[in-house]
Structure 1
Amino acid sequence: MPQVITDVTQTIHAPIGQVWGIVASFGAESLWFPGVVSSSLEGYGPGAVRTIHFEENPWVNLVREQMVVCDPVKHLLRFRVQNDDVSDAGEIYSNMVLEDIDGKTTKFRWFAEGEVLPDPVQHENMREYVEAMYHRCADSIEQKLTAKA
């Protein structure tokens, strides 16, 4: 049964509309996602598939992700992740949820659902890597948005 396997919540000092404009740009990750070498998109909206190539690392080198939900009212993005580097996690879904705090600050939550890896040490290493990656992404988004302020 899938369960939350990674979960990061971070405050970004930028309005929710600006943060949403970046995370909802499905397929443009090479413009803001640290460690991404290239990204591309097939289709548009729910059902679209993005392919992301990362710098070499032990956990995620190439992923294909299919958008399942893109809700601009709830500021929710959900996608199915195909990552052959971590095939033991079963079916993986990744979710980004934004929440307005005060009109100029955004609560950014990114969590993944899947199966716990059979090897507990490997699972913990994967969780730490992915959660650090989510934090780097939130930091990158904030840096891009505050640099223009």
Structure 2
Amino acid sequence: MRVSAVALILACLVTAAPAHGPTPQKIEATATIAAPPGRVWGLVSDFAGIERWHPAVATSEGSGGTANGATRAVTLKRGGVLRESLDEYDAGRMTYSYRLSEPDLAALPVSSYSATITVTPDGAGAKVAWFGRFYRGDTGNEPPEELSDAAGRAAMKAYVETGLAGLKAKAEGGS
């Protein structure tokens, strides 16, 4: 009898347990660019200069250059500002990592993210990889659709893929 009472209590606790919170999401995209890696890195390497190549960015202002802890405020053409900070910068390896330091759900429906951009040689051209991890905009157990995992994935995918397409056009076209 004692065993079945314990089993009953455990069963009640398990069924009464709240749903788990958000799980980390990932985005990874690459672009092959018909331009020397040095030219591509010349565009990407300016942490505060993302407006030079990302079509969705209206302006970008930064401080601290490429030192760890440098910051940038990226204003999107459709509204919202991404406030980001540089975590790690390696010009020799043509890579840097950064993170969202202050969420703006009008800019992207995510509560946080970290990302890495890397340029590598690819034959006569370059390959750019952009990888990120993020959490949806509403980290509660039942987020509204516009702040859900799906909304976060769609927005991050569009932002990264648009950026890579813009970088490719800029590096290959030279304009």
Normalised by the shorter chain, which TM-score bucket? 0.7 to 0.9
1:99–1:2 CA distance, 2 compared to 1 (3 A): farther
Q: Give the conservation status (yes or no) of the 8 Å contact 2:48–2:65.
A: no
Larger Cα-atom Rg:
2
- TM-score w.r.t. the length of structure 1 is 0.82
The answer to which structure, 1 or 2, has the higher relative contact order (CA under 8 A, 6+ apart) is: 1
Is 1:137 equivalent to 2:158 in the alignment? no
Q: Which runs of at least 4 in structure 1 moved beyond 6 Å after TM superposition?
A: none
Name the % identity: 21
- Partner residue in 2 for 1:93: 114
1:76 to 80, 86, 95: 95
Q: Secondary structure at the match of 1:138?
A: helix
RMSD: 2.6
Q: 1:7 aligns with which of 28, 41, 44?
A: 28
- Specify every segment of 5 or more residues in structure 1 that has no aligned partner in the other structure, as ranges: none
**With structure 2 as the length reference, what TM-score do the two structures score?**
0.71
Aligned residue in 2 for 1:24: 45
CA distance in 1, matches of 2:151, 2:25: 15
Q: Structure 2 regions of 5+ residues with no counterpart?
A: 1-21
* 1:115-141 CA-partner distances (Å, limit 9, x unpaired): 355549521222122212212211111
Match of 2:135 in 1: 115
Counterpart position of 1:34: 55
Are 1:125 and 2:134 counterparts?
A: no
Asked if the contact 1:12/1:138 (under 8 Å) is kept, the reply is no
